[in-house]
């Protein structure tokens, strides 16, 4: 199993540009989520999904969109990038009790918005 994979590893955007961060998992987990990690602030939940076709907002959803067309994939879209979105983004998946269960994290995408 590859676990949770994320692409790209690094990305630099200009303010106003849009892009999609990719996330995939091969563990057949129903739950998938996106976090951002900023220095001194821990991980904050952006959006999550409890299964294909179902998504919901987390703690900091503004400026981001998600969709879940398959169990395996959960892309995160930045609609119009802003410097405040400079961060490290982690995708995670889990099973059972979902977001309250053990989380399996991807390696992260380091995003810089100029």
Partner 1 sequence: SQQGEEDPQALSIQEGENATMNCSYKTSINNLQWYRQNSGRGLVHLILIRSNEREKHSGRLRVTLDTSKKSSSLLITASRAADTASYFCAPDERSARQLTFGSGTQLTVLP
Phi-psi region of 18 (alpha: psi -120 to 50; beta: other; left: phi over 0): beta
Q: How far is the CB of 53 from partner 1 (least distance, A)?
A: 19
Task: Answer yes or no whether residue 17 interacts with partner 1 by CB under 8 A.
Answer: no
* Distance spanning both ends of the chain, measured CA to CA: 36
Binding partner 1 (rule: CB under 8 A), the pick from 27, 43, 52, 82 is 43
Closer to partner 1 at the Cβ: 17 or 43?
43
Closer to partner 1 at the Cβ: 13 or 108?
108
Are the C-beta atoms of residues 14 and 113 closer than 8 Å to each other? yes
Q: Report the candidate in 24, 32, 35 with the shortest Cα–Cα distance to residue 73.
A: 24
Enumerate binding residues for partner 1 (CB under 8 A): 4, 33, 35, 40-43, 45, 48, 58-59, 90, 92, 99-100, 102-108
């Amino acid at each position: 199993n590859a676990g949770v994979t994320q692409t790209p590893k690094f990305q630099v955007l200009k303010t106003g540009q849009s892009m999609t961060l990719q996330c995939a998992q091969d563990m057949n987990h129903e739950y998938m989520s996106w976090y951002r990690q900023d220095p001194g602030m821990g991980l904050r939940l952006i959006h999550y999904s409890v299964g294909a076709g179902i998504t919901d907002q987390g703690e900091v959803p503004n400026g981001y969109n998600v969709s879940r067309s398959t169990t395996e994939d959960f892309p995160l879209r930045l609609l119009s990038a802003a410097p405040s979105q400079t961060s490290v983004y982690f995708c995670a998946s889990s099973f059972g009790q979902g977001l309250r269960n053990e989380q399996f994290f991807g390696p992260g995408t380091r995003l810089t918005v100029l």
